């Protein structure tokens, strides 16, 4: 399913600090989205949503008419797009949060996943963070987003299909078998804790890519226990701090890594018995000053080529532990 048309125009260049709408009220020259002088974590609806509740859509004069054929099916872009501000400090990052503050963000992700997933029009909830101008971020304030899709996105559908086929063939969860294989190989493990394991996947596609998975079979964020959430806050901060030490400038100072971090959860209504929660973090930065651009093979047919062995990525991430 693809989009036609699109949401209202968004900013094209990073906004300066005094024009940031995510900073607390009274700290900048533009109106703030947050009517508070300071805050810990804030969640609100995106002003430029790709998906929105039914009440936000104009009446469709063609609603109820069937498509001329199966190639041009359309439907209202029902769903939700929300913004999650991690801190009121514009110059901070998620990696600089305390474990207690990180736990608050985790609880917010879990609460919103549960509420959005309960909506009848929602099929998938995706919590993610884009960081860095190289990723296309227009607001540098530490924040992420939550998308509630009215369909199962292509990659989520592919992950579900693979999980279903593996379970039908073996009777086991694909995510659990992948984690077990990584723990057995050991060479791509980045870090371990009581409840979580971070590792570089066997077939990593990006110059820097790492996954984070719970030891217990868990379908989504709401299913995590208090102990697992507490541990996750510490493990995730550890991982992000390692990523910010992955590259260093000529003067020896660390380079804040641009990245996309996304939680892959069980769909809201199907395949929950075979799905397993995990986080995927990737970066397009292939050296301190070079980006990875997708070539014809990668963009054209999805034939990925990565010149960095996953074992090398894992070794580097182990070496830069906080």
Q: How far apart are CA 84 and CA 114, in angstroms?
A: 15
Q: Which of 57, 90, 140, 143 is catalytic?
A: 143
Alpha-carbon gap, residue 267 to 45, rounded angstroms: 21
d(CA 288, CA 282): 15
Task: Give the separation between CA 148 and CA 260, rounded to whole angstroms.
Answer: 18
Whole-number Å distance between alpha carbons of 95 and 46: 23
What number of CA atoms fall less than 13 Å from residue 98's CA on the CB side? 4
129, two tokens = 């963070």
Chain centroid offset of residue 146 CA = 8
Query: Between the CA of residue 29 and those of 24, 91, 276, what are the distances in Å?
Result: 11, 17, 44
User: How many C-beta atoms surround the C-beta of residue 59 within 10 A?
Assistant: 5
Question: Catalytic site residue 195?
Answer: no
Contacts of 7 (CB under 8 A, 6+ apart): 48, 49, 50
Catalogue the active-site residues: 143
């Amino acid at each position: 399913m693809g989009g036609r048309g699109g949401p209202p125009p968004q900013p094209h260049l990073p906004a300066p600090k005094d024009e940031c709408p995510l900073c607390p009220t009274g700290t900048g020259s533009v109106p703030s989205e947050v009517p508070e002088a300071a805050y810990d974590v804030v969640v609100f609806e995106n002003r430029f949503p790709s998906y929105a509740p039914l009440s936000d859509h104009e009446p469709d004069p063609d609603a109820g008419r069937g498509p001329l054929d199966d190639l041009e099916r359309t439907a209202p872009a029902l769903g939700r797009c929300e913004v999650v501000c991690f801190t009121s400090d514009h110059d901070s990052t998620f990696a600089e949060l305390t474990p207690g503050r990180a736990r608050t963000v985790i609880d917010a992700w879990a609460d919103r996943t549960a509420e959005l997933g309960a909506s009848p029009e929602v099929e998938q909830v995706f919590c993610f963070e884009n960081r860095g101008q190289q990723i296309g971020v227009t607001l540098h304030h530490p924040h992420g987003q939550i998308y509630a899709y009215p369909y199962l996105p292509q990659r989520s559908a592919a992950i579900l299909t693979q999980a279903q086929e593996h379970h039908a063939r073996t009777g086991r969860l694909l995510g659990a078998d992948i984690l077990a294989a990584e723990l057995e190989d050991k060479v791509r493990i980045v870090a371990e804790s009581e409840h979580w394991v971070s590792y570089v996947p066997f077939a990593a596609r990006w110059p820097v890519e790492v996954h984070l998975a719970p030891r217990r079979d868990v379908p989504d964020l709401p299913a995590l226990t208090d102990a697992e959430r507490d541990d996750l806050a510490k493990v995730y901060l550890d991982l992000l701090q390692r990523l910010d030490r992955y590259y260093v400038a000529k003067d020896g100072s660390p380079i804040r890594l641009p990245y996309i971090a996304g939680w892959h959860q069980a769909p809201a209504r199907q395949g929950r018995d075979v799905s397993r929660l995990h986080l995927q973090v990737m970066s397009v930065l292939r050296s301190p000053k070079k980006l990875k651009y997708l070539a014809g093979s990668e963009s054209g047919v999805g034939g990925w080529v990565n010149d960095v062995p996953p074992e090398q990525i894992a070794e580097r991430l182990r070496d830069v532990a906080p």
